Structure formats: C-alpha cells, structure tokens
C-alpha cells in the first residue's frame, strides 16, 4: 500500500458517501411529495420497500422540519 493509493481510496469513499447522501435526500423528498399528494402510506411502502414505521417517521412534520434545517446547515457549510 502506498500513500497515493490510500489517498485515492479515501477520495473515492468521500465521493460515494456524498452520492449516497444525495440519493437518500432525493428519496426523502419524493416520499414527502407523494405524501403531500395524498398517496396512502401503504402505497409509499410498496413503492419504496421501507417499513410503515419508517415512512411514518419520515412524514412526521417535526422530522421534516429538522431534516430541512440540517440540510440548510449542511448547504451553508456549517
């Protein structure tokens, strides 16, 4: 193992994490959009493969508020 390989692997890991976080944020946004459009929870569960409990958590107004605040802080670089 050399330093360049280690640096390269670390950079690849950071990129993968950023893609994963972006994909998760997009999924959560889509779940919120579906819920706001009146989709029954069971249909969101079928479409996403997430549990009813997780969908309930994600759609909770307090969770949404906290998630949006975290995104704003993250976008601002805090």
Position 72 in a domain = yes
How confident is the model over 52-74, as a mean pLDDT?
Answer: 94
How confident is the model over 26-38, as a mean pLDDT?
Answer: 97
Q: Residue 8 has what pLDDT?
A: 96
Position 17 in a domain = no
Q: 63 is in which domain, residue-wise?
A: 25-78
Position 56 in a domain = yes
Total domains in the chain come to 1
What is the band of 74 on the pLDDT scale with cuts at 50, 70, 90? confident
DSSP code of residue 50 = -
Residues 15, 23 contacting (CB under 8 angstroms): no
What is the band of 78 on the pLDDT scale with cuts at 50, 70, 90? low
How confident is the model over 8-32, as a mean pLDDT?
Answer: 96
Position 46 in a domain = yes
Position 7 in a domain = no
Q: Residue 75 has what pLDDT?
A: 80
Position 2 in a domain = no
């Amino acid at each position: 193992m050399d330093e360049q390989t280690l640096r390269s692997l670390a950079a690849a890991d950071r990129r993968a994490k950023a893609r994963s976080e972006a994909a998760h944020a997009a999924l959560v946004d889509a779940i919120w959009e579906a819920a706001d459009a009146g989709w029954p929870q069971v249909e969101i569960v079928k479409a996403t493969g997430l549990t009813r409990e997780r969908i309930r958590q994600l759609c909770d107004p307090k969770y949404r508020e906290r998630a949006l605040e975290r995104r704003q802080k993250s976008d601002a670089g805090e």
